[in-house]
Amino acid sequence: MGGCPPRCPRGLQQPAAAKPPNNPLEKRALPPPTFNLPPSLPPPTFSSPSNPHAVSSRPMPLPYRKLGVWQRARTLALEVDRETRRETFRREWTLRDQIRRAAFSIGANIAEGSGRNTRADYASFLDRARGSLFELDHWLLLCRDIDLITPARHKELEDEISQLSAMIHAMTTKLRTKQPGS
C-alpha cells in the first residue's frame, strides 16, 4: 500500500521519513561577517558650515559635563575617593567600597538622566542621585562616629553634600513644574 498521491484529500499519504531533531548544541559553520562598505559610498566628511550633519573631527563635549551640579558631584566623588584611600580605611574595605559606590553613582545618575528623552525620566534619575547623596551622608556620618574620618573633614564633606542636595532638589522641582506651552 503506497498511499495516496501527494494531494490526497483523505490524508492517507505515508509519513515522510523522520528527520533527526536539530541539535541546538551542534556547531554550524557560519559565513564570516562582512563589514566592508560598498565602494560607492564616499568616506565621511568633516563638519563645516555648509554640511552641519557631517562627522566632526573633534569629539563633541557631552551636555551634562557643562552642568554645575554634575561638576560638583564629580568633585565630591573624587574627594571621597581620596579620603577612602587613606590608611584608616585599609581594613574597612566593605565600608570603603559602599561609600565609594554611593559617591560615584551621584554624578553617574545626573549624567544618565540628562540623556533621557523626557523631563519626568530626567527628574527620576535626579531623585536617584539625591538618594545616593543621602546614602553617602549616612556612611560618612558613621565613619565620623567610628573615627575613620575627623569631625573637621566630615563637616567639609557634609557642607558639600548639603549644597549639592539643594542643587539637585532645585533641578528636580524645575523639571517637574509644568512649562508654558507643554
Q: What percent of the chain has pLDDT over 90?
A: 62
3-state SS, residue 89: helix
Confidence of residue 58 (pLDDT cuts 50, 70, 90): low
Q: Which three cell numbers stand for residue 129?
A: 542621585
**What is the model's pLDDT at position 174?**
95
> How many C-beta neighbours within 10 Å does residue 53 have?
6
| pLDDT tens-digit map of 118-138 | 999 999 999 999 999 999 999
pLDDT score for 104: 98
pLDDT (tens digit, 9 = 90+) per residue, 62-115?
A: 899 999 999 999 999 999 999 999 999 999 999 999 999 999 999 999 999 999
Q: What is the pLDDT of residue 61?
A: 74
pLDDT at residue 124, rounded to an integer: 97
What element of type H or E holds 11? none
Q: According to the model, what pLDDT value does residue 87 have?
A: 93
Determine how many CB atoms are found less than 10 A away from the CB of residue 58: 7
At the topology level of CATH, where does 63-176 sit? de novo design (two linked rop proteins) (1.20.1440)
Higher pLDDT, 118 or 28: 118
Domain boundaries, the chain: 63-176
